[in-house]
Amino acid sequence: MAEGAVVTDSFTKENERRSLAKLTVRTTVIRDGTPGISLSLDGEVIGEWTDSRAKLLSLTDDYRARVHGADGEQLYLLSAPGRAVSGEETGDKEITITFEL
């Protein structure tokens, strides 16, 4: 190997190209005026659906969003694509999951 050569592997190069994104899950009144669930990616709504049963959210230890009904029953389990690196409950109706793209 030449003197001063820099050795990098594909894993290191791949990690340098990765970026972080934030998925926000909300139980709220969605754009059509009905109660439901809203998904936003870095502040932009990417999906929503009507569900009058969805009342509360909780964050799992592995950074997934649980959607609960009024009686506490789990209705859905939502996860971000890629590898989740952190999560934050900003209230009982909003969760943000940070993940690698």
Q: Is residue 9 domain-resident?
A: no
Q: Is residue 3 domain-resident?
A: no
Residue 65 structure tokens:
């969003």
Please choose, from the candidates 96, 90, 56, 97, the residue with its C-alpha nearest in 3D space to the C-alpha of residue 73.
56
Task: Please state the domain count of the chain.
Answer: 1
pTM equals: 0.80
Q: Is residue 72 domain-resident?
A: yes
pLDDT tens for the chain, residues 1 to 101: 445 444 444 444 555 557 999 999 999 999 999 999 999 999 999 999 999 999 999 999 999 999 999 999 999 999 999 999 999 999 999 999 999 98
Maximum separation of any 2 CA atoms in the chain, in Å: 67
Q: Is residue 86 domain-resident?
A: yes
Q: Is residue 74 domain-resident?
A: yes
